[in-house]
Amino acid sequence: MMIRLDRLDETPLATDPFNYVVVKDFLTPEGLDAARKAYPEVPGPGSHPPDGLAIDGAFQSLIDELQGSAFRSAVERKFDIDLTDRPTMYTVRGYCRSRDGKIHTDSKTKLITVLLYMNDDGWPNASGRLRLLRNGTDLEDYADEVEPAGGTLLIFKRADNSWHGHHSYEGPRRAVQLNWVTDQSVVDREQGRHGFSSRIKKLFTFGARV
């Protein structure tokens, strides 16, 4: 396996200011290297659904493990939640815009949010580090700061106070976001919305290259 469920099991659940867990080195070194090499090219900033990307090889294997029953069971144990029959959806990010990272909680249709960072081993930038916040207005009032280094996993249970965000950063910033959501209509709506946005970005990217 590429993912290290033992590391997730061994990491205590944090509860301040909401339920979350941060696991460093969640991927095996070989798995991280292979998945980064197979990381799909994304057409621009923002979140991109898999339908418009070349998902294959080791990256597809990683996604299969994240959507597999073993990982779901580990998340259920950690957060004391039943995800039976709850659908998943995922998006892929490759670049960050300066306007990204605004404070938010995620929509109520998302039950669990998983972020797996796929950047280089270190993250030298002071900005672009995700902060888990105690309120919805102040980026400096944070309980934890997550370095988006390659192989770092963040999972949190969505709540009305699950505020998070980061200081403005512009440049490459790779991450896979996977969510368990309330029902299939959420997947259809969200993947369609992100898909439309992704197609527009491709058109602009193509036009800029011509």
Is residue 210 included in any domain, yes or no?
no
Q: What is the pLDDT of residue 117?
A: 98
Q: Is the dihedral of CA 166, 93, 73, 184 positive or negative?
A: positive
- CATH number of the CATH domain containing 49: 2.60.120.620
Is residue 63 included in any domain, yes or no?
yes
Q: What is the pLDDT of residue 200?
A: 45
Residue (of 100, 112, 68, 92) closest to 171 by Cα position: 100
Assess contact for 83 and 66: CB atoms under 8 A: no
Strands in the chain per DSSP E: 20-23, 88-96, 110-117, 130-133, 142-146, 153-157, 164-165, 171-181
Of all residues in the chain, the percent with pLDDT exceeding 70 is: 91
| Residue 69 DSSP one-character state | H
Distance CA 32, CA 34 (A): 6
Q: What is the pLDDT of residue 202?
A: 45
List the beta bridge partners of residue 21: 155
pTM of the model: 0.90
The number of distinct structural domains making up the chain is 1
Assess contact for 2 and 60: CB atoms under 8 A: no
Q: What is the pLDDT of residues 137-177, one digit of tens each?
A: 999 999 999 999 999 999 999 999 999 999 999 999 999 99
Encode burial over 164-192: b for 16+ CB neighbours within 10 A, e otherwise: bbbeebeeebbbbbbbbbeeeebbeebbe
